[in-house]
Amino acid sequence: MTLKPIRLALGIATLALPALATSTFAATSFIANVFYDQQHPFSRYGYIEWAQTVKELSDGDLQPEVYTGTVLLSPRANLQGIRDNVVQVAHHAAIYTPSELPVSNAIQELGFNFDDPLISILAVTDFSMNNPTQLQEWQDSGVVYLGAYNTPPYVLMCREPVRNLEELRGKRIRTAGSTVSEWVEQAGGIPVNVPSSEMYTGLDRGSLDCATNAVSDLIDRSLWEVAEHTTLLSTGMYWSGPQWGFNPKFWADLNDEQRQVFKEASAKAMTRMTVQYINNADASMEEAISKGSNVYEPSEDLTASVDAFRAKALTDIYDTARDRHGIEDPEALIDDFLETYDKWVDLVSKVDRNDEEALAELAMREIYSKLPTDYGIY
């Protein structure tokens, strides 16, 4: 596969859980949680609208109670929350639990080398629901995986201009994932691993000089107020962990029709979420500029530094997966993902990238409809 250069404490309170009923005489109520605020695409399209679709497709039989933000679970706590049945469905970013999800994090190491979120979200979902090694990890972790999330390429949003390597040196930069952290350190910066929910506070107080995240966060999380300078240097995309991770017992107790509803709702939400996230990023950039934000293209030395690191990261990916994440057969794992990605490059090329309905139908046909009837029943 040839990759082109890219330009561009768990604290769970005691909760009164809803009664989970699956009889024909009562609706099945459940809690769904995502730690982003309501306007973030992963929340708005991936949970709030998704929940409405679930209700409609089930004729009211399935009744989600959606929580957004960190009121219910902290970003690092969602995996345990799913496993302990504190929530029945949740988004979880695997980069927050690397020791528990090494396979997912090994695949995420490739995120620095890709720049197409639409192809990636479909490829990651396909891979994550079919690769035996990844499936075993979901089972061992106590989660049923039902679909991916994928960010647009992350960029640099900073308190001061960071347009070249000289301006980057010594800067404390919020990063997500080990590969981009290694590049920041190699380039002379200081990587800081904090949840995205802490970016605003860190930038405001000066404990962070920059944050790497999707450009839409300039508006969605009001980062334009504390980071006046944005450099359009792609520092990778993120997809590790489930957008919809189900508690295994909850999933197993559903009937076939209910599980089919979740598959259809997730296919619709996943593709809509991605199309809208891309559009939102473009609109947010324009709005931030209108509010006075400064936007820069990276200098040649900054771009060259990233390109060289990407090439080395791709060459070293097998050793990284083996040595950092403990993957026993990294060649089989990584090659399976790259082949799956190439398959989706071809499939997406035959569909209007802005046609959410056609993309959802493609996801249903190529992924969800091919799952075994006992998928996720452990």
The span from the CA of 234 to the CA of 9, in Å, is 30
The span from the CA of 299 to the CA of 163, in Å, is 6
pLDDT of residue 112: 87
Instruction: Identify which of 36, 87, 33 has the alpha carbon closest to the alpha carbon of residue 198.
Output: 36
Helix (H, G, I), strand (E, B) or coil at 170: coil
**CB-CB contact of 211 with 194 (8 Å):** no
pLDDT of residue 2: 43
User: Of all helices (H) and strands (E), which one includes residue 34?
Assistant: strand 28-34
pLDDT of residue 26: 65
The span from the CA of 198 to the CA of 18, in Å, is 30
Instruction: Identify which of 230, 240, 218 has the alpha carbon closest to the alpha carbon of residue 114.
Output: 240
- Indicate the burial class of 168 (C-beta count within 10 angstroms; 0-12, 13-18, 19 or more): buried
The span from the CA of 321 to the CA of 323, in Å, is 6
Instruction: Kindly state the tokens that stand for 246.
Output: 């189900």
**CB-CB contact of 248 with 144 (8 Å):** yes
pLDDT of residue 235: 87
User: Of all helices (H) and strands (E), which one includes residue 344?
Assistant: helix 330-348
**For the chain (length 378 residues), average pLDDT per consecutive 10?**
41 41 65 94 97 98 97 94 98 94 96 92 98 98 97 94 98 86 94 90 97 92 96 92 98 98 98 93 92 96 94 93 96 98 98 97 98 96
pLDDT of residue 247: 98
Residue partners of 30: CB distance under 8 A and separation at least 6: 18, 20, 62, 63, 64, 65, 88, 89, 250
User: Of all helices (H) and strands (E), which one includes residue 256?
Assistant: helix 256-290
- Kindly tell me the sign of the dihedral angle through the C-alpha atoms of 163, 169, 171, 177: positive
R_g over Cα of the chain: 20
The span from the CA of 327 to the CA of 98, in Å, is 13
The span from the CA of 115 to the CA of 284, in Å, is 18
pLDDT of residue 21: 42
User: Which CATH class, in words, describes the domain spanning 99-238+258-370?
Assistant: alpha beta
